[in-house]
Chain A
Amino acid sequence: MAADTSLDKICVIIGASHAGVNVAFSLRREGWEGKIVLFDSDPEVPYHRPPLSKAYLKADDDSQLDLLFPKQNYISENITLCLGKTIVEINKESNQISLSDGSIQKYNKLVVATGARPFIPPIKGIDLASNLFSMRNFADAVNIQKAIISSEEKRVVIIGGGYIGLETAASLRKLGAKVTVLEREKRVLARITAPEMSTFFSKLHQENGVDLLANKNVILIETSEGVNKLLCDDNTTYTADLIVVGVGIKVNTELAENAGLVIENGIKVDSNAKTSAENIYAIGDCTYHFNPHYNRFIRLESVQNAVDQAKVAAAAICGNEVEYDAIPWFWSDQYDVKLQMVGLSTGYNQTIKRIEDNNEKCQSVWYFKDEELLAVDAVNNGKAYVLGTRFIKAKQQLDKEKLMDVSIPIKQTSFLKD
C-alpha cells in the first residue's frame, strides 16, 4: 500500500535516543518528504549511551560526547530537534501531543521511543542519600565524574551487579575510586548469564581491586555530613561517599498507557512496530515485540533492538513494510575485556565453555536448549561471536563433543555434525 509521505504530512517522534534518532534518519532514506519533529526532555544533542559507563566515565578530562549524528545532519535532513521538551499527553483521537509548556504538536504519524528510566529501589533512606546517582544520561555521567574528582576518600558503593554496575565499577577504578559492588542475588549478572560468566567477571573485578559481594540486600541508607552508611539484611554495613544505583530499569510506558495503547511488559507492537492505535508506532527499549527467531514476545534493552526496530518502523510508515526479524546482540567493555553476546539464552538447559589457548581472557560460553544453539557469550573472542551469530541464524545443528574439544580451533566447519 502506498503511504502518503507528502510535504504537508508530519511525523512526530517522542524520544531522541538510539531508536528515535535512527527512525528520523531512516524515514528520509525511505522517502518521507513531510516534516519530522523529534522531541526529548534531555537537552543534549542525541548521543551514544553505551560509552557513558565505559570510555566516557573513565576519562578524567573533558572528553566529548559521542554524538549519534553531527548537528549539521539534522539540518541537512530537515529533522527538527526539540530538546529539553517534555511531552505530557498523547491524544490519539485528535492526533496531537501536548507539551509541559502548554503547547500542542499535531501529527499524522507518531513514533513512541520513550525508552526506560533507572529503577530506584524502595530502600529506606535512599531519597536522603548524599551523592546518589543512576547511570543513564549524559548528566549522570558528568555528575558521577565530578563527584569522584571532588571526593577526598572516593569510597563508592554500587548497588547492583548487572552490566551497568560492573562497567561503572571498572570505569571508576580507573579514576582511582575504592569500589564496592553489592549484588542482591547469589552471583553478579545472575539475570542474564550462566554461572561461568558470573565467575569470570567476579574474578576480573576482584583482580582489579573491586570488592564484589553477592547476597547483599541493602535495606537502609543513613546519611550524615555527606557520608552514607549502607546496611544490608545480613547486618553488614558499608560506607560510601558516593552511591551508584544500577538495579535495572522501569519502562516509560505512561504516555502510551494513558493514551489507551495496549501495554504488556512494555508497549505492545506487531512485527512492523505498529502499536494497537492507528498511526502510532513504538520502537526500542519501551516495546514488547515479537521475535520470530525465538518465537515469542520479548522486551530488550539494547542498541541493536533500538536501531533495527527504527528501520522497520520507518519502512512501515512509508508503506514499505518489512518484518522485524533480528537476532539480538549486546556488548560490554570492562578493563581489558570485551564481552560480546548474541542471541537470547533464556530457557537453556546446557552450556559449553571453551577457553582458547589456555587463556582465561579468551573464552566463550555456548547456550543450548537440547540441540538448538540459543546464545553465545564471547570474551575477547570475536571469532566465537561472529560464528555463533551465523550458527544461531541458520539454526545450525552442532556437534557438541567437537565444540567441547578446545584442541579443535574455532572454524566455520569445525563443529558441524558429520
Chain B
Amino acid sequence: MTKITFVTSDDNSITVEGNTGNVMELAVQNKIKGIDGNCGGVCSCATCHVHVEPKDWEKVGAPSTMEADMLEFDEKVSDYSRLSCQMKVTDAIDGVVLKVAK
C-alpha cells in the first residue's frame, strides 16, 4: 500500500492509503476537501490541483506538457504544482505530502 498525506486548505493533515488508480481518485474516495476531480481525471478541469512538498518533488516528477499548460496560468500555481489526476498511485510516491492548492 502507498501512503499519501493530504494537507487541506484549513491545515488538516490526512494520511490515506491506496494501491490503484490515480491520486485524485484516492482523494475523492477519502473526502479530501478541495479535491473535486470534476472531469473524472482527464486533465480538463484543474479541480484536483495540489502543491507537492518540495522534498517530494523528485519522487512525484514533473508534469506532462498538457498538464503543465493547464497549470502555468492557474491562479493557484506554484513551482511544485501538479494535477493529482495525472499522478498514478504507485510505490514510487509512497510517503509524499500534497497540499491542496489554495
A interface residue numbers (CB < 8 A to B): 25, 29, 48, 50-51, 54-55, 66, 69-70, 73, 77, 303-304, 307, 329, 331, 333, 338, 340, 380-383, 385-387, 390, 412
Contacts and interface: CB of A to CB of B under 8 A. Distances in A.
B29 A70 contact: yes
A381 B39 contact: no
A382 B42 contact: no
Contacts of A381: 69
B72 A386 contact: yes
Nearest to A381: B69
At the interface, is chain B mostly helix, strand, loop or mixed? loop
A382 B69 contact: yes
Given A303-B38, A303-B39, A382-B66, A338 B73 contact: no
B29 A340 contact: no
A157 B86 CA distance: 35
B40 A48 contact: yes
A331 B74 contact: no
Contacts of A73: 29, 31
Contacts of A340: 44
A73 B42 CA distance: 22
A69 B66 contact: no
B70 interface: yes
Contact of A382 (B28, B29, B33, B70): B70
A338 B66 contact: yes
A51 to B, nearest CB: 6
Given A29-B33, A51-B40, A303-B38, 7 more contacts: A55-B42, A77-B31, A304-B38, A338-B43, A385-B70, A386-B73, A387-B73
Contacts of A29: 33
B45 interface: yes
B75 to A, nearest CB: 7
Contacts of B97: none
A29 B68 CA distance: 31
A331 B69 contact: no
A22 to B, nearest CB: 9
A383 to B, nearest CB: 5
Contacts of A303: 38-39
Nearest to B40: A48
A386 B40 contact: no
B73 A412 contact: yes
A307 B38 contact: yes
B42 A331 contact: yes
Contacts of B71: 382, 386
A333 B36 CA distance: 20
